[in-house]
């Protein structure tokens, strides 16, 4: 018996080492067939089907449009519905459970249990059929930051027999032959007769998931099926995730769960908030002042009387919606300002509202905005974005800001 256990242990160690070395060589892996996460993925898939149905119907009713045919005439309304679904998964116990189980499985398969990884809350994509706005060209998830480890776990909540993503194996290593040839080919159009196949586009079953190195070249493909498809992404990093709340994997494990959300109620609430911001005028191109904008935005937020989970969901949905629009338009600046004041959920909105102030206000107003926001949320990620705004516009947006601010990292659930 002892011999059997010892043999089993040695075999497990060999499998682990093989899995890890294969991943390190290729830069990606397809976890398939009976993964530890299969049950929780199935639960999330059922939830997704209910949410898609409810949210698209509610948004369609609110605008008096039929959203079941995803035509160009209903793209705006579909984008609102997509943002709501993505925000629902952002603060969802099952999505968090999925992050926990997939991460634990990856760590155990690769023998990296001792390493500390940071995660950001679930980042979900909704691909409606033929929706070109969700398609992206070959890219990396992390650029230039080669001192840190960065992995993406991609979990589709539906079977995908339409090759939803394309990966270019081995392109995650700087100065590797695969990467050099890959870049050369893309620049010249010439195909080198080595390293076939150069790219790979797997089909996936429900319960499968992919993991790739953040530096691997990959792309999200058009949804050519006739059903909306949803996939949830998790980032794993050796340093806290920039621009987003970030906790260590252990903290995610220890974190409690929230109850079920009232999807119809949340959708109606979000639509009301969206209209309120549209009809407000606390930022207009002719009048851009930091303190009065913040004061009036805060008063609007108070009038909604939101619980903290609702604030995070609304904030995230507003940011995602604003990302599809021109950030230098005053209405979009109002959306972005409300989003960051509700919660520091996804700081893309802070970047954008900073750019709007740079374009339409005095430098001193941009500084006041940054200072007021940093005083409210004194987190490393905020300082990091403010530094980026400073660099981009070659001005000191926050005079006196220390170059290095200590973590604590803004936690996942706080």
Interface region with Fe ion, contact rule CB under 5 A, candidates 43-51, 137-145, 293-301, 313-321:
137-145
DSSP 8-state symbol, 133:
G
Contact 119/246 with Cβ under 8 angstroms? yes
Minimum CB distance to Fe ion, residue 370 (Å): 29
Q: How far is the CB of 218 from Fe ion (least distance, A)?
A: 6
Q: How far is CA 23 from CA 132, 306, 332, in A?
A: 31, 44, 42
> How many residues bind Fe ion, per CB under 5 A?
1
The one segment of 83-91, 140-148, 164-172, 195-203 that binds Fe ion by CB under 5 A:
140-148
Residues 154-193 that bind Fe ion (CB under 5 A): none
Answer for which of 19, 61, 66, 141 binds Fe ion (CB under 5 A) is: 141
Q: For residues 167 and 370, which CB has a smaller minimum distance to Fe ion in the complex?
A: 167
∠ CA 136-140-141 to the nearest 5 degrees?
Answer: 95
Measured CA angle at 278 (ends 277, 279), to 5 deg: 90
- Stretch binding Fe ion (CB under 5 A), from 74-82, 119-127, 138-146, 378-386: 138-146
Whats the size of the chain, residue-wise? 414
The answer to whether 134 contacts Fe ion (rule: CB under 5 A) is no
Which one of 8-16, 45-53, 136-144, 381-389 is the stretch in contact with Fe ion (CB under 5 A)? 136-144
DSSP state of 205: -
Tokens of 64: 């008096």
User: Closest CB to Fe ion among 231 and 322?
Assistant: 231
Touching Fe ion, residues 335-374 (CB under 5 A): none
Separation between Cα atoms, residue 366 and residue 358, nearest integer Å: 6
Token pair recorded at residue 200: 């790979």
Contacts with 260 (C-beta within 8 Å, 6 or more apart), sequence order = none
Distance CA 308, CA 414 (A): 9
The residue range among 110-118, 139-147, 193-201, 322-330 that interacts with Fe ion, by the rule CB under 5 A, is 139-147
Q: Show the binding pattern over residues 284-303: x = contacts Fe ion (CB under 5 A), - = does not.
A: --------------------
Q: Residue 241's Cα: distance from chain center in Å?
A: 11
Closer to Fe ion by Cβ: residue 233 or 268: 233
* Shortest distance, position 141 Cβ to Fe ion, whole Å: 5
Residue number, 100 or 217, with CB nearest to Fe ion: 217
How is residue 134 annotated by DSSP? G
The distance of closest approach from Cβ of residue 126 to Fe ion in the complex, given in angstroms and rounded to an integer, is 15
CA trace torsion 37, 83, 79, 275 (10° rounding): 160
Would you say 141 or 258 has its CB closer to Fe ion?
Answer: 141
Contact predicate 81/55, CB 8 Å: yes
- Residues in the site for Fe ion, rule: CB under 5 A? 141
């Amino acid at each position: 018996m002892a011999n059997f256990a010892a043999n089993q242990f040695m075999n497990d160690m060999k499998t682990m080492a093989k899995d890890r070395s294969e991943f390190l060589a290729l830069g990606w892996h397809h976890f398939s067939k009976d993964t530890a996460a299969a049950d929780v993925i199935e639960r999330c898939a059922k939830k997704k089907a209910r949410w898609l149905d409810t949210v698209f119907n509610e948004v369609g009713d609110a605008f008096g449009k039929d959203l079941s045919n995803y035509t160009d005439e209903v793209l705006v309304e579909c984008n609102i519905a997509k943002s709501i679904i993505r925000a629902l998964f952002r603060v969802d116990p099952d999505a968090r459970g999925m992050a926990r189980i997939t991460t634990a499985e990856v760590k155990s398969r690769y023998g990296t249990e001792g390493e500390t990884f940071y995660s950001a809350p679930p980042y979900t994509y909704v691909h409606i059929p033929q929706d070109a706005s969700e398609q992206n060209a070959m890219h990396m998830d992390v650029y230039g930051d080669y001192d840190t480890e960065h992995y993406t776990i991609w979990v589709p909540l539906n079977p995908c027999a339409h090759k939803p993503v394309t990966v270019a194996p081995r392109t995650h290593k700087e100065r590797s032959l695969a990467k050099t040839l890959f870049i050369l080919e893309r620049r010249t159009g010439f195909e080198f007769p080595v390293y076939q196949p150069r790219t790979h586009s797997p089909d996936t079953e429900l319960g499968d998931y992919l993991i790739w190195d953040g530096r691997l070249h990959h792309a999200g493909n058009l949804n050519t099926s006739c059903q909306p498809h949803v996939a949830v992404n998790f980032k794993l990093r050796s340093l806290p995730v920039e621009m987003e709340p970030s906790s260590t994997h252990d903290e995610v494990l220890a974190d409690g769960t929230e109850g079920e959300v009232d999807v119809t109620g949340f959708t109606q609430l979000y639509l009301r908030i969206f209209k309120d911001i549209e009809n407000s005028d606390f930022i207009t191109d002719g009048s851009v002042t930091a303190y009065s904008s913040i004061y009036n935005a805060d008063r609007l937020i108070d009038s909604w009387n939101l619980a903290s989970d609702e604030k995070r969901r609304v904030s995230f949905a507003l940011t995602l919606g604003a990302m599809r629009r021109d950030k230098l338009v005053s209405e979009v600046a109002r959306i972005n300002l409300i989003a960051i004041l509700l919660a520091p959920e996804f700081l893309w909105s802070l970047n954008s509202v900073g750019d709007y102030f740079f374009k339409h206000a005095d430098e001193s107003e941009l500084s006041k905005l940054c200072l007021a926001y940093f005083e409210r949320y004194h987190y490393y990620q905020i300082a990091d974005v403010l530094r980026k705004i400073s660099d981009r516009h070659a001005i000191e947006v926050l005079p006196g800001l220390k170059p290095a601010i200590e973590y604590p990292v803004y936690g996942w659930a706080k």
